[in-house]
Amino acid sequence: MKSQSTCGSAQWTDGLVVSAKNVDSMDTSGSNFLQSSQTTQTFEIVALKSPTWKHQFLTWIVTFESTISFIAHYLGLRSSKWWLAVCELVICLVAAFARSIAKDRQKRFQVVEGMKLDKRCTSTGIIRTQQASIVDTPLRRFDILDLRAYSGSLFEGHPLTAEHIAWHAAKICREKSPKTASNVLKLTGMLATAEHNNEQPETRAIFVSFLGGVLVTEGLAFPNIRVCIGFRARVTELGAPTPLLVRAIMRQPQWLVSHPQYGNITASLGNVYIFSINSIIDWWSLSEDRNDAHDLQKNLQWPFVLLNMAFYLALLESCVGDAQLLSGIEQAQQEASMESKGIAWAVVNFLEALRDEWMNE
């Protein structure tokens, strides 16, 4: 659509959409799509900015002069003939009527039935979300890489319970059960590294690549592709990796489920609620634009507990000499409860019990 400055007769083909976020972030029904039958629409936008002292001074002068002018005009009408005030009133009424007739009358927007949009979006056309599907394990392919990079920090939140468990389980595995740690990294295909920034010592450039391993009731869910993500973060922000890893795996068109024995890991996590694979892919088809980092962390901390654990294991392995990085994560995790540390031991024991099955696979 061309701008109005170059083309005065620009037409909307699908209509303009401004949609608000739904309070329930797990609601995948979407927002109503509004459309008008009028092809040309006039929209206005008013932008407010903080006034400077010069603008404020000029505003006071204009306000003072306008007030004095109104008083003088009113006193002048009172001292004039009566018909002069009546004429002025008639002129104002005729001008208002003429303006209402000459003004473009726009049609109201109507709800389009059978069409839904993301909860958080601004668009000049219809947004068609991608439908994900489940494929068979033999069709799995890793010859394609989904690479995403984000500038700036994505998240400044605090770690939640599942992230505390993932960190402590990773430390337990590395110290007490190296074979289990190796199997977790192999299962998820997790690779991670952190590069120093000389200008910002507390900031790292993080590169993460993995195959998948989202915990669902049917086992573990994998996108049918290898994903890779790069981002910049402070060392303390790595204590809450869920929203960082989630962004790498959003909106994948194909998924597969394997390792059904992991569907029982919820008992080791304290019987928390875990989604099914269908709920995950249906929600993710809409969630990237309509959920902020806090929503992603809150809703997906438990399905991502194994991937978070693998992420920490990869960092502990590749960044063993980076004391500032490890101490920053430890600082972010210092509020972990004794219950979380106990659950971390239960998770490690569960993974050790599956070691023979890993060996056979």
Q: Where are the domains of the chain?
A: 53-102, 133-360
Distance CA 166, CA 265 (A): 13
For residue 222, the model assigns a pLDDT of 93
* Model confidence at 6: pLDDT above 70: no
* Model confidence at 3: pLDDT above 50: no
* Model confidence at 121: pLDDT above 90: no
Which residues share a beta bridge with 207? 193, 230
Order across the sheet with 254-258: list the strands.
133-134, 254-258, 219-223, 214-216
Spatial contact of 46 and 139, defined as CB atoms under 8 Å apart:
no
Distance CA 54, CA 58 (A): 6
* Model confidence at 352: pLDDT above 80: yes
pLDDT confidence of 2, banded at 50, 70, 90?
very low
For residue 118, the model assigns a pLDDT of 59
Q: Is the model's pTM score more than 0.75?
A: no
Distance CA 14, CA 248 (A): 31
What would the pLDDT profile of 293-337 be if each residue is shown by its tens digit?
788 888 889 999 999 999 999 999 888 888 888 888 888 888 878
What would the pLDDT profile of 165-196 be if each residue is shown by its tens digit?
999 999 999 888 888 999 999 999 999 998 88
Integer angstrom CA distances of residue 358 from 73, 300, 305: 91, 25, 19
* In the chain, % of residues over pLDDT 90: 22
* Model confidence at 84: pLDDT above 60: yes
Q: What is the mean pLDDT of residues 201-211?
A: 88
